[in-house]
Amino acid sequence: MNQASFNVLTEPWIPVIRLNGLNDELGTLTCLEQAHELREIRDPSPIIEFGLYRLLVAFVLDALILAGRRPEDQLDLKSLIKAGRFDLDMIKDYIRQCGNVFDLFHPEQPFLQTKMDKATPKPLAAMYPAVPSGITVNHWHHETEDNLQVLVQEAARLLCTLAPFMTAGGAGLSPSINGAPVVYALPIGKNLFETIVLNIPLRCSQESGRGVIAWRSKRSPGQERSEATTVEALTWRPRRIQLVPDMNHSSIIHIRKMNFEKGDSTRLTWIDGSIAYRYDKDRVTPVRMRENRPLWRDAGPLLLLNEVEHGRDETKVSFRRPDVVEHAFSLMDTGDTLIIQVYGMRTDMKMKIFEWAKSAWSVPSKLGCSTRLGSLVYQELGRAENSAYWLRNSIKLLHPREGARNKKALRTIMDRCERAYWQHLESHFHPLMNAFSVLDPDASNDPVLIEKTAGNWRENIRYLALEQFELASEDMDADSDALERQVRARNRLLNKLKEVLS
């Protein structure tokens, strides 16, 4: 039987959408060559989609570094965008310098993998969170992990998820360099070329060591690391992995098994250019997905805030939106709108995976470039959060003795009502951003003007909170005591909403 081979440079494996709306699948080289003619990468799985974007960003950044053209500031990024397309001669020269490292089944240096001669093959399912494997069984899947078999193209795409989304996996199996999976931001350009350039991270002070990008590294992962370079972090190797090809007596390559062992680990606090961070005293925390919290509720730190302090005294915190978002706004023309896609995967901070998500926002440049206006929008999100708190609190008052000695009193109803409240409020968030984007960023604080600008938003908060309270009340008893509790709880909610929204 012939040796299996799949060269990611030339074989089609990256799913894209062209500017004319047609779907296609391209090799890495063709994808970069035609990037200015492509709209976007599109995959049904958000973690695969972002992983592919990150791979291309790392590829281009490493090519620029080896060519002595690493972008150092926003002006360098602007010059790259002005060129309108990638320098194909530079890309081809980079490929020549890399050598024969782009074949998934290279006998010595397989692409994004590690040669392992003595490992015991495991089911490929262990690398794909959507499929049950080991003790992470999803009871809705009535099949075994050995049943998963994918085409080599899909397996190649799965490899791209390891660096951004790998979780901890038990004893000795560390997560990727950013720890438990986080929320990543991806500014979107007019085409794939611009999107890749907008997401190239600039040089940062924390870079150290001589680490190189995964496919140029001859070092086998499996060490405790205390330093990293940007290209190394973008293609971090938290696992040693080697795909095992199954050709089934044909030219079509399937993957069912893999060699899979622990890789690099680190306690380094790496600041990733695609991640938003919360600064609380001496603690730095990346923004992660949370249960029952849609991504748009974190639009403040993800889109709008840049190290502006909020709160008082001991509760003061500040947020720093992703560097790539900051740079993208600085490159925009006044009056333009920036589309930002965000990708996240929610875990228990260890190996359990609950969900993943993708969301997209259109942010007016005037709002994104103004720290003050962004902070005002964030304050309005805070009003929505406080109103949701009082909605839950008022629903709990409907329970006899206000749920005393029963921490779970009416929890299901509260969860249902709050979820509906946020779902309906989401459609009013973009109009809120647009309303604040027309204000003068340098104007003095005018409470009357701010209240007028946020008027529709605040009225919708009030309406939706009261609507969900009334729906919750319909599920309660109708005796005199229950009706008295309803009146008291409704009045409490009305008073609290008045305080929060004024």
> For position 14, what pLDDT does the model report?
98
- Counting Cα atoms < 13 Å in the Cβ hemisphere of 336 gives 14
pLDDT tens sequence across 61-105:
999 999 999 999 999 999 999 999 999 999 999 999 999 999 999
- In Å, how far are 126, 470, 475 from 172, measured between CA atoms? 16, 51, 50
Lookup result for tokens 């896609």: 341
Torsional class of 270: left (φ above 0), alpha (ψ -120 to 50), beta (otherwise): beta
What residue type is assigned to position 436 of the chain?
F
Average pLDDT (165-187) is 91
Average pLDDT (336-355) is 93
pLDDT interval class at 140 (50, 70, 90): very low
Q: Of 395, 55, 73, nearest to 214 (Cα)?
A: 55
> For position 282, what pLDDT does the model report?
80
Q: Of 309, 93, 106, 77, nearest to 200 (Cα)?
A: 77
Q: Which of residues 432 and 132 earns the better pLDDT score?
A: 432
Specify the range with the lowest mean pLDDT, choosing from 23-27, 79-83, 148-152.
148-152
Q: What are phi and psi of 341, to 5 degrees?
A: -100, 140
Enter the tokens of residue 486.
């309803």
Average pLDDT (51-59) is 98
Find the largest Cα–Cα distance for the chain: 83
Q: Of 368, 366, 278, nearest to 320 (Cα)?
A: 278
> For position 481, what pLDDT does the model report?
86
CA distance 12 to 26: 4
Torsional class of 225: left (φ above 0), alpha (ψ -120 to 50), beta (otherwise): beta
pLDDT above 70 (res 180)? yes
Contacts of 352 by beta carbon, 8 Å cutoff, 6+ apart: 136
pLDDT above 70 (res 383)? yes
149 C-beta neighbours (distance < 10 Å), count: 16
pLDDT tens sequence across 222-281:
999 999 999 999 999 999 999 999 877 678 899 999 999 999 999 888 999 999 999 987
pLDDT tens sequence across 301-335:
999 988 666 555 566 789 999 999 999 999 998 88
Contacts of 161 by beta carbon, 8 Å cutoff, 6+ apart: 47, 48, 51, 127
> For position 394, what pLDDT does the model report?
95
Domains and CATH numbers, the chain: 14-181+190-266 (no CATH), 372-502 (1.10.132.100)
CA distance 71 to 69: 6
> For position 281, what pLDDT does the model report?
79
Average pLDDT (197-218) is 94
362 C-beta neighbours (distance < 10 Å), count: 12
336 C-beta neighbours (distance < 10 Å), count: 13
Enter the tokens of residue 85.
């397309």
Whether 424 and 468 have beta carbons less than 8 Å apart is answered as: no
CA distance 470 to 463: 11
pLDDT interval class at 139 (50, 70, 90): very low
Q: Of 3, 497, 18, nearest to 245 (Cα)?
A: 3
- In Å, how far are 34, 158, 199 from 38, measured between CA atoms? 7, 22, 16
Average confidence score pLDDT of the chain: 91
Residues found in the chain: 502
pLDDT above 60 (res 203)? yes
Burial class (CB in 10 A: 0-12, 13-18, 19+), 115: middle
Contacts of 11 by beta carbon, 8 Å cutoff, 6+ apart: 27, 153
Q: Please give the sequence-ordered ranges of beta strands (E in DSSP) within 275-336, or none if there are none.
A: 277-280, 283-286, 306-310, 317-320
> For position 489, what pLDDT does the model report?
94
- The pLDDT > 70 percentage for the chain reads 93
CA distance 62 to 353: 32
- The pLDDT > 90 percentage for the chain reads 76
